[in-house]
Amino acid sequence: MLRNKRMKIARVECDFSQEQLAKAVGVARQTIGMIEAGNYNPSLNLCIAICKALNKTLNDLFWEEDLR
Amino acid sequence: MKLFRKIVDERQELEMMRVERGSFWVMLLALVVAILVQLFALGYDFEHIAGEFIALVIGAVWSTAGYLRRGSWDYFTKPGVKTYALYSLAAGIIFGLVAPLTRYFRYGAPLLDCLRVFAINFISVYVLAFLTLLLLGTITKKRQKKLQQEYKEDK
């Protein structure tokens, strides 16, 4: 799995810590860390919740251009 | 108010389910081994292993019912005659060997007797397993068809 740098950048841009984002979407901080590290594939529901919390679209954060 | 509110997220739940799945199969296998050892190697009566047997049956029925309800079969094969034949062969060999091996090593029974016992046990287990799998496979296929209809694309 690839690291999700875009999600990390978007989180930092929103001035969110991992802890704050985790609280906003209702998951553990470790889960956010693992998604950013590419060690966990979140469900579509969680992806949407993260996108809403960070004001981004699914394409912005989770679409892999290289795979097309 | 719910007595127990889930406080784990989807990743934690998935990881816990993976651990629980592993432990379920280990327990199920351990129960089978414990029952076979007690019955055949130690020579216990059925009443001595009734508790383990009931636990094994509950676990097996629970998981089988869950699989049937969701139209699931197993991780590696699809329901079909080849699958039933293969699994029945494995069951026949494994469970067919237990009694003759016990007779041979524990009671020193003649080899020919043991072979005869093996043949009878093998055929009995093979036929029983095949029929059971045939029944379960047929129900699974029917359930899969029903679920496919349920989630059919709108025209």
Q: Which residue has the higher pLDDT, B50 or B107?
A: B50
Q: What is the pLDDT of residue B155?
A: 52
- C-alpha distance from residue B65 to each of B28, B58, B84 (Å): 16, 10, 18
Query: B40 near B99, Cβ under 8 Å?
Result: yes
Compare CB distances from A43 to B8, B10, B12 and report the shortest one's residue.
B10
Summarised one tens digit per residue, pLDDT across range A3-53 is 789 999 999 999 999 999 999 999 999 999 999 999 999 999 999 999 999
> Please, what sign has the CA dihedral across residues B86, B92, B98, B100?
negative
What is the ipTM, given to two decimal places? 0.85
Closest chain B residue by Cα to residue A42: B11
Q: What is the pTM of this model?
A: 0.78
How many beta carbons lie within 10 A of that of residue B103, not counting itself?
18
Whether B7 contacts chain A with CB within 8 A: no
Whether B12 contacts chain A with CB within 8 A: yes
The stretch B64-86 carries a mean pLDDT of: 95
In order, the DSSP letters of A4-67 are -HHHHHHHHHTT--HHHHHHHHTS-HHHHHHHHTT-----HHHHHHHHHHHT--HHHHH--GGG
Mean pLDDT of chain B: 91
Going by pLDDT thresholds of 50, 70 and 90, the confidence category of residue B4 is confident
**Residue numbers in A near B11 (CB within 8 A):** 27-28, 30-31, 34, 40, 42
Residue B103: both structure tokens together: 């007779």
Q: Do A28 and B11 touch (CB under 8 A)?
A: yes
Q: Do A42 and B11 touch (CB under 8 A)?
A: yes
Whether B11 contacts chain A with CB within 8 A: yes
Residue A67 pLDDT greater than 60, yes or no: no
Q: Which of A31, A32, A44 to mutate to test the interface with B (most CBs of B within 10 A)?
A: A31
Q: Do A40 and B9 touch (CB under 8 A)?
A: no
